[in-house]
Chains A and B, each alone.
Chain A
């Protein structure tokens, strides 16, 4: 007899049709009265087949969103998402959950705003509560010059159809009452730029919601399946080697931010990317004290309060190449000092946990969502700090690129070749210094 993996006995689970169970208030009440033993798994834990039309490498938000839009928008359902660990265990589960579209350069404005529009209706579309909360993203200005630069960026945003409001010091103080806006503050506040439609979302939910919706459309989600090689023949991709055996594929799409260089390297592609560690910290829970996202570039710091009451905050990179997914204490110390400088009331707060994640830092601070020199091989990576917020737009445009073998106008500027052609998209004007973006 073939041994079966052990799983808890759930008698009502047996023989359930592979149909997505619709979530609703009524369903919740019904299940509550039955002791919650009637919930079906949100997606099938699929075993890999020998062949697929499209294999997506990476079961984070971007890969799962790509699978969902391939099936929904392009009718391609013979798709596998291969994840080396568990769903959403990389950048998707390690970010600080901020969603915004407050950019200045045209390609970034259009792309991130499309993502924002998708976010706004996504919970209903996926029938999954993403806890998307448009509580505003507030950038603090500490000098008159910085406020002028914010006015410029705010105007660029408004010209691109994005909401933006320039705030005075008093308006900033009203929105964040515990923020130190006094003249003696370590970082004196002179004003701010607010994107009211920005906010936060539940990071894990975006992976789970897309996984469940993609699964219902026929996509195989395969966990614990690491890709170890990419097969090519005559300049085109033919499949992948994995820890669960070889899989043939008509097309292969890479969405593994953090490890993009390693995967692209398997197909002989050198990338404009360095891997770095970014840390984040969560405090013990508090009563409500901050109902918006506050960021400052003076200390490079961003903070928001979760629905559980914890302050979640992050800041700078560690500053050196790393795949360790864990950082060092000096950055944690600088984060704590930035928090207490801005919010003196937080000075006695204890840290609950902190963690690191590996991010792709690209040479201009912008991502790559593009075809590659290898036929049938597509690349999605280089997300720097900003992968989470654009998950829906990334998946949507990447699915288009894979399905039609050409980019959508929204992601057409985000090529691998833009550095050679002088079309870098350098929002901060830092040049090819990945750690500085």
Chain B
């Protein structure tokens, strides 16, 4: 699997560490979050078969975290951007 780091370009996935579903990221204002939303964020996942928005770290490279849209069926990386980037499911940014 090849992953395109937004800063270093396309590299072998062995250089990267997976950070999981980007939707499960810590909210900006945790105090404002209802219990149900917390439970949903921590314990449940959409787990799609297809484009999945997720976090990766280029741990054996520039060490930066970034966001990626990757197809979980084909392993194709459709789009990458910085962690705050709004990436669309079809891969366009």
Give the interface of A toward B (CB within 8 A).
259, 261-262, 270-275, 319-324, 328, 330, 363, 419-420, 432-435
Residues of B within 8 A of A433 (CB): 20
Residues of A within 8 A of B13 (CB): 328, 330
Do B47 and A261 have beta carbons less than 8 Å apart?
Answer: yes
Residue B40 CB within 8 A of the other chain: yes
Residue B37 CB within 8 A of the other chain: no
Q: With the chains together, A9 CA to B45 CA distance in Å? A: 50
Whether A330 contacts B14 in the complex (CB less than 8 A), given A271-B47, A273-B47, A274-B45, comes out as: yes
**What is the interface of chain A mostly: helix, strand, loop, or mixed?**
mixed
Residues of B within 8 A of A363 (CB): 42-43
Residue B73 CB within 8 A of the other chain: yes
Do B21 and A322 have beta carbons less than 8 Å apart?
Answer: no
Residue B34 CB within 8 A of the other chain: no
Residues of B within 8 A of A270 (CB): 40, 44-46
Residues of B within 8 A of A322 (CB): 72, 75
Residue among B1, B20, B72 making CB contact with A323, cutoff 8 Å: B72
What 1/0 mask marks residues of chain B from 19 to 53 whose CB sits below 8 Å from any chain A CB? 01100000000000000000110111111110010
Residue among B14, B18, B43, B52 making CB contact with A272, cutoff 8 Å: B43
Give the interface of B toward A (CB within 8 A).
1, 13-14, 18, 20-21, 39-40, 42-49, 52, 54, 70, 72-75
Whether A275 contacts B43 in the complex (CB less than 8 A), given A320-B54, A322-B72, comes out as: no
Do B45 and A261 have beta carbons less than 8 Å apart?
Answer: yes
Q: With the chains together, A321 CA to B54 CA distance in Å? A: 9
Do A323 and B39 have beta carbons less than 8 Å apart?
Answer: no
CB < 8 Å A-B pair total: 61
Q: With the chains together, A272 CA to B42 CA distance in Å? A: 9
Residue among A323, A432, A435 making CB contact with B42, cutoff 8 Å: A432
Residues of A within 8 A of B21 (CB): 274, 321
Closest B residue to A259 using CB positions: B49
Do B40 and A324 have beta carbons less than 8 Å apart?
Answer: no
Residues of A within 8 A of B72 (CB): 275, 321-324
Smallest CB separation, B92 vs chain A (Å): 21
Residue among A273, A323, A324, A420 making CB contact with B45, cutoff 8 Å: A273
Given contacts A274-B45, A323-B49, A324-B74, 15 further A-B contacts (CB under 8 A): A262-B49, A270-B44, A270-B46, A271-B45, A271-B47, A272-B44, A273-B47, A275-B47, A319-B18, A321-B47, A321-B52, A322-B75, A323-B72, A432-B42, A433-B20
Residues of B within 8 A of A261 (CB): 45-48
Residues of B within 8 A of A320 (CB): 18, 54, 70
Most buried by A among B1, B39, B40, B54: B1
Most buried by B among A319, A323, A435: A323
Residues of A within 8 A of B75 (CB): 322, 324
Q: With the chains together, A435 CA to B49 CA distance in Å? A: 17
Residues of B within 8 A of A435 (CB): 18, 20
Residue among B14, B48, B54, B73 making CB contact with A324, cutoff 8 Å: B73
Smallest CB separation, B39 vs chain A (Å): 5
Closest A residue to B3 using CB positions: A320
Residues of A within 8 A of B46 (CB): 261, 270
